[in-house]
A = this chain, B = another copy of it.
Amino acid sequence: MKDRIIAACGQFPPQFGDIEGNLERICRMTEMSSADLIVFPELAISGYQFQNRDEALSLAIEIPGGREIDILQQAANDTDTHIVLGVAERSGESLFNSSLLIKPASSNIDNDDVVTIYRKLHLFDREKEIFDSGCDAPKAVDTAVGRIGMMICFDWIFPEVARVLALDGAQILCHPANLVLQYCQRAMFARSVENGVFSITCNRIGTESRLEKELTFTGSSQILGNRGEVLAQAGSDSEEIIRAEIEPALADNKMITDNNHILNDRRVEYYKMLISKDL
């Protein structure tokens, strides 16, 4: 594993339905970034505002098997970059709002699955009409660029997601997003600080008006350090790559004073209500 890596966000406006064009943009930005790890927005190759589930299904990709994965894998291999991006994922009869982690072949030393999938657990608003929600606990995964945990957009508002990932050893939260407000960007400060982890939120820009309600996305992608410091931040409406050099292992240090380990200090015996279904 590298001690220090270049982490990046590829902030851009996915064009609805233009899978070829969006893939091309993602591959080009990956190359331009010269990064070890680059995060792209949620639903980055399909766009966001589906009219209905059928339309989303028609723009979804399958894993493994999709031609789109081959293209992304090639880009990862060619540039030796780990790519995280959001996609609409079809699996049998199911349709998920997923995030993929695609490792370059050179880094896949254990010869395990090259593509890691996280299926969004907490669907936002109309997404509930379009997608099935994920049915697996968030899990961190070891890579040559650090131990990575993925979460997607609205997952931010549930502190449980980042916490479970941190407890599973995540050093870097990779967080594709399609945000129309700026609450998340402010709140991710807390996610990094309370868990002592790096976080990379890549939000899209641009406007979609395929439904009555027009959506304008707020960009402001950001890379935060393991103590919440802003290492890089994008503008709210500019297509751009932001980059920061980070040392993932710093996130293993959970001591914030000589006497306080922010994970071991938890008093879990008093947290039972957190996993109760009854409100």
A169 to chain B minimum Cβ distance, whole angstroms, is 9
CB of A128 within 8 Å of the partner chain: yes
Give the copy number: 2
CB of A175 within 8 Å of the partner chain: no
Residues of B within 8 A of A271 (CB): 137, 160, 164, 274-275
In the complex, residue of chain B having the shortest beta-carbon distance to the beta carbon of A270 = B137
CB proximity to B under 8 Å, residues A142-200: 154, 157-160, 163-164, 167-168, 183, 186-187, 189-191, 193-194
Q: Assess whether A163 is in contact with B167, with CB atoms less than 8 Å apart.
A: no
Q: Assess whether A158 is in contact with B190, with CB atoms less than 8 Å apart.
A: no
In the complex, residue of chain B having the shortest beta-carbon distance to the beta carbon of A279 = B263
Stretch at the interface among A8-16, A82-90, A117-125: A117-125
Given A137-B273, A163-B159, A164-B274, answer yes or no on A267-B121 (Cβ-Cβ < 8 Å). Answer: yes
Given A159-B163, A183-B228, A279-B167, answer yes or no on A126-B189 (Cβ-Cβ < 8 Å). Answer: no
CB of A111 within 8 Å of the partner chain: no
CB of A265 within 8 Å of the partner chain: yes
Q: Assess whether B273 is in contact with A164, with CB atoms less than 8 Å apart.
A: yes
**Interface residues in chain A, defined as those with a beta carbon under 8 Å from any beta carbon in chain B:** 121-122, 124-126, 128, 133-134, 136-138, 154, 157-160, 163-164, 167-168, 183, 186-187, 189-191, 193-194, 228, 256-260, 262-277, 279
Q: Besides the contacts A183-B193, A263-B279, A274-B274, what 17 more A-B pairs have beta carbons closer than 8 Å?
A: A121-B270, A122-B265, A124-B257, A124-B259, A125-B259, A134-B267, A157-B193, A158-B194, A158-B266, A159-B190, A160-B266, A160-B274, A164-B271, A167-B274, A190-B191, A268-B274, A268-B275
